[in-house]
Structure 1
Amino acid sequence: MMRADARRNRERIVAAAREVFAEQGPGASLNQVAQRAGVGAGTLYRHFPTSQDLFVEIIQDQVAALCAHGRELTGHPSPGEALHLWLRAVAVHATAMRGLVAVEMAGAGPALAACHAQIEATGAALLARTRHAGTTRIADLLTLANAIGWAAERSPGDPGLVDRLLALVVTGE
């Protein structure tokens, strides 16, 4: 069991890492995370020996929420609209860490691979309810949603871009 002060330090580190990675993307320094959290580098590395350990901690909660949202959408009366809503959430999720997800997934360890598998399983369940089941691969839709997130991140002055691009993907219009 973790001491209360150690738990607080860990929570501050995770909160600071979310902020720093969202601001600076994959090039963010762990020393900047430690500074923002108000802890020493040694404390950060005691809790998270590698940057990937810290990233996994951040992403697991986000993936759990994304997948829970997808499970809720399996009860939506319109399967196509449910898939569309979830793909939008995936695109927004892809922008949350300014490219860090893609960078880390390239060398994904087992924990990140498990996160990706959860996302694929959720998407596959939503896709299975649509008329595109059997003809469309969830991996392709996830690639498109991530690409849309990437494009939207690079166009911050266009808040409607995610929705317009998703409409092109989903409806062709």
Structure 2
Amino acid sequence: MARLLQAARELITDAGPGVALDEIARHAGVGNATLYRHFPTRADLLVAVYSDEIADLCRDGAELAKAEQPLDALFTWLEKFIVHLATKRPLALAATEEPSNRRTPLFEEWHTSITTAADVLVDRARAALRPDITTTDVLTLATGVALAVGADADHTHRLVTLFRTGLASREAAADERSAQPDP
């Protein structure tokens, strides 16, 4: 099953969630029957792949929550979140949209997992943030960045740097500006 998930992850990254299931089976080196035994429908496979993506993102958040510099940890994770959202959004939508265009309970579960990971990082960085900043604010702004720039790493980094300055407390922002080299 791990080979199928890895093959699906690679091909979905390259070709999108509509990639042929037969191609995934071939790429994994298994027959179609094996694929369908583990994943009876395309939706089952997409859900499994995206669930792994969410688990990886949340695991990264948990690791970063142990870092010595909580503000750096928060913004490192936010860059990962933005890249995740920009690159995995089609997969998430393919795995969770119902015909009525309402998100499934699974989508809500994933959203809760991401929010929980972000809550821990925001809470740890609280002393360096403006006092009125909420996790919802942070995730909403990060989502806006992801939707605006897509997967462009350089542009993402620039916007996250601007984003960081805007969220930081006045003291932290002054410290950040004084630590930057003069042009």
CA apart distance, 1:102 = 4.2
CA apart distance, 1:21 = 0.5
TM-score normalised to structure 1 length: 0.73
- Asked if 1:166 corresponds to 2:160, the answer is yes
Identity %: 35
Residues 127, 133 of structure 1: 8 Å contact kept = no
Distance 2:141 2:21 in 1: 30
1:12-91 aligned within 5 A = 12-91=3-82
Distance 2:15 2:141 in 1: 23
Distance 2:54 2:92 in 1: 11
TM-score normalised to structure 2 length: 0.70
Residues 18, 97 of structure 1: 8 Å contact kept = no
Residues 56, 112 of structure 1: 8 Å contact kept = no
CA apart distance, 1:98 = 6.4
- Inter-CA distance 137–27: structure 2 relative to 1 (3 Å threshold): farther
Structure 2 stretches lacking a partner, 5+ long? 167-176, 178-183
Query: Aligned residues, how many?
Result: 160
- Tell me which structure has the larger Cα radius of gyration: 2
Structure 1 stretches lacking a partner, 5+ long? 1-9
Mean CA deviation greater in 80-89 or 95-104: 95-104
Tell me the C-alpha RMSD between the 2 structures.
Answer: 2.8
